[in-house]
């Protein structure tokens, strides 16, 4: 039986589906896109900007009092927000621009708590090319389309498949060396490591049990806002390297409960040897 969508989730899914239609058209004509260079290895396309505007218009129309934090246009709305949308209109932009069909729209919803802090409350990660909608709300479980999700049950590192994000030209020397040390430590212990180039989908795939874990350093809030909720509602852990909030600095480790402490330890070791 299909799960019932809350009002928030209905708004989120409708918004990403509408934004995805133009993105799919642009993806099918990717060689014709007008592309500007935002930084080394970090491209922004007209498709990206149009998708962000579509999402902002739809979400604001449905919930006019909510604030925004968006990848391309930054923060909008009151600093004293009670609810905030955190939006990546096109996660996996480099894949998109190279014609690689592994990219997603990510929309997270954060809620302000009485003590002034905030928490990830709901998330949607939608992969339009394969029509996979990963979604979750706090306390309501995680789903792929209409199917309930659970993280993998693997306990043995030798059977584990992990995902990561390889540092690129814009990354610091510290990030590159830390990653290399972590990779060196993990490779002899595990079944494999994959780098597909879209952190939101890496997190969603951890929730779906396709990956047993994921790590990446210095991610942005819009990279993880939706994925954190989806992993946690699927029974996994999603923290920084020491079990804290990954939104603070962006260092993110997600895995099933058995492998999460082992993956955190490996990433911490890579950092400590720097």
What are the tens digits of pLDDT across the range 141-152?
999 999 999 999
Task: Specify whether the CB–CB gap between 225 and 110 falls below 8 A.
Answer: yes
Percentages (nearest 5) of helix, strand, coil residues in the chain: 35, 25, 35
For residue 41, is pLDDT > 50? no
For residue 13, is pLDDT > 80? yes
User: What confidence score (pLDDT) does residue 30 get?
Assistant: 80
For residue 31, is pLDDT > 70? no
Delineate the domains of the chain, giving CATH numbers in brackets.
7-148 (3.30.540.10), 157-272 (3.40.190.80)
Task: Specify whether the CB–CB gap between 53 and 71 falls below 8 A.
Answer: no
Could you tell me the pTM of the whole model? Answer: 0.93
Query: Mean pLDDT over all residues of the chain?
Result: 92
User: What confidence score (pLDDT) does residue 273 get?
Assistant: 66
- Between β-strands 42-45 and 237-239, what pairing exists: parallel, antiparallel or unpaired? unpaired
For residue 43, is pLDDT > 60? no
Positive or negative, the CA dihedral 182, 185, 186, 187 is positive
CA 194 from chain center: how many Å?
16
What are the tens digits of pLDDT across the range 162-200?
999 987 777 788 788 888 999 998 999 999 999 999 999
């Amino acid at each position: 039986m299909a799960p019932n969508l809350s009002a928030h989730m209905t708004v989120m899914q409708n918004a990403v589906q509408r934004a995805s239609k133009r993105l799919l058209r642009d993806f099918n004509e990717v060689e014709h896109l007008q592309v500007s260079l935002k930084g080394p290895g970090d491209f922004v396309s007209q498709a990206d900007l149009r998708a962000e505007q579509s999402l902002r218009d739809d979400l604001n129309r449905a919930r006019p009092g909510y604030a925004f934090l968006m990848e391309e246009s930054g923060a909008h709305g009151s600093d004293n927000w009670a609810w905030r949308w955190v939006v990546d209109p096109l996660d996996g932009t480099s894949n998109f621009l190279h014609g690689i069909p592994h990219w997603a729209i990510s929309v997270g919803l954060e809620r302000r708590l009485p003590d002034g802090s905030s928490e990830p409350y709901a998330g949607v990660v939608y992969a339009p090319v394969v029509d996979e909608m990963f979604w979750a709300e706090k306390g309501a479980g995680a789903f792929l389309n209409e199917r309930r999700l659970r993280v993998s049950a693997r306990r043995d590192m030798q059977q584990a498949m992990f995902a990561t994000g390889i540092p690129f030209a814009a990354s610091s020397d510290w990030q590159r060396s830390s990653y290399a040390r972590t990779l060196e430590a993990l490779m002899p212990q595990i079944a494999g490591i994959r780098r597909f180039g879209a952190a939101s989908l890496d997190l969603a795939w951890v929730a779906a049990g396709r990956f047993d874990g994921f790590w990446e350093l210095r991610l942005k809030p819009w990279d993880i806002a939706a994925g954190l909720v989806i992993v946690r509602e699927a029974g996994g852990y999603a923290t920084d390297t020491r079990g804290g909030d990954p939104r603070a600095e962006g260092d993110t480790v997600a895995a099933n409960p058995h492998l999460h402490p082992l993956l955190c330890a490996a990433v911490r070791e890579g950092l400590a040897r720097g």
